[in-house]
Amino acid sequence: MNAVTTIERPVDTSRLRGFVTALADLIACTRDEQALLESGRTLLARLIARDDWLPPEYARPDPDRYQQYLLHCDSRERFSVVSFVWGPGQSTPIHDHGVWGLVGVLRGSEQVERFHRLPGGGLVAQGSDLLREGEVDAVSPRISDIHRVSNGRADAPSVSIHVYGANIGAVERATFAPDGTPKSFISGYANRVIPNLWDRSRNA
């Protein structure tokens, strides 16, 4: 008996292409972080309002740890767009970013625990929030930059779209022990290939 082969239809990435184009235009117009976060939040909310554009290979969970897939990096590394995929029970360590960022939940939910680092190096918890599908959060060293993120669902994966003001996979950042002791890291990406947003041969 012959096995049936399932062929995945190409996903229309025109929504993502439109998003990165609009974001590049925004960054070209202003360097004001507050303006970037406010207008960028609107753009990201519009992108995640529909869930029909993310290629499935960038939404696959890993049984051992969360995955960070690069979707696009600006040619001058002014910003990057990534998908985070969380399996049940997975979470990040406490960490910072060093740059502004926006986080929008595409599928499922995320639990966000916020921390403030004292001048002496210790950490103080600043509460937590549950981000649901369609909601957008912001981070930056100016407003709040240290947090721990967990999958808000215990029995299914969650997927969020993150936008950062740099090539986040190449930025030297820090994780923090509960007492505030930092440890440097560079996250990199889980991709084996990068999506081609600019090929219009398969979609409009």
Q: Which residues contact 197 (CB under 8 A, 6 or more apart)?
A: 13, 16, 17, 20, 71, 72
- The response to whether 97 counts as a known ligand-binding position is yes
**pLDDT for the residue numbered 11:** 81
**pLDDT for the residue numbered 199:** 86
Q: Which helix (H) or strand (E) segment is 151 a member of?
A: strand 146-151
Q: Which residues contact 58 (CB under 8 A, 6 or more apart)?
A: 69, 71, 83, 85, 191, 195
- φ, ψ of residue 174 to 5 degrees: the values are -140, 140
**pLDDT for the residue numbered 4:** 38
Whole-structure pTM value: 0.92
Rounded to whole angstroms, the Cα distance separating 160 from 191 reads 16
Rounded to whole angstroms, the Cα distance separating 57 from 69 reads 9
The partner residues of 164 in beta bridges, in order of sequence, read 80, 101
Rounded to whole angstroms, the Cα distance separating 136 from 104 reads 4
Integer CA distances (angstroms), 29 to 7, 22, 39, in order: 42, 11, 11
**pLDDT for the residue numbered 10:** 66
Report all structural domains of the chain as residue ranges with CATH numbers, in order of start.
Answer: 60-186 (2.60.120.10)
- The response to whether 147 counts as a known ligand-binding position is yes
- The response to whether 116 counts as a known ligand-binding position is no
Q: Helical H runs in 85-165?
A: none
**pLDDT for the residue numbered 201:** 79
Mean pLDDT by 10 residues, the chain (204 residues): 44 93 97 96 98 95 96 97 96 97 98 95 95 97 95 96 98 96 97 90 64
**pLDDT for the residue numbered 138:** 97
Q: 194: closest CA among 47, 64, 68, 65?
A: 68
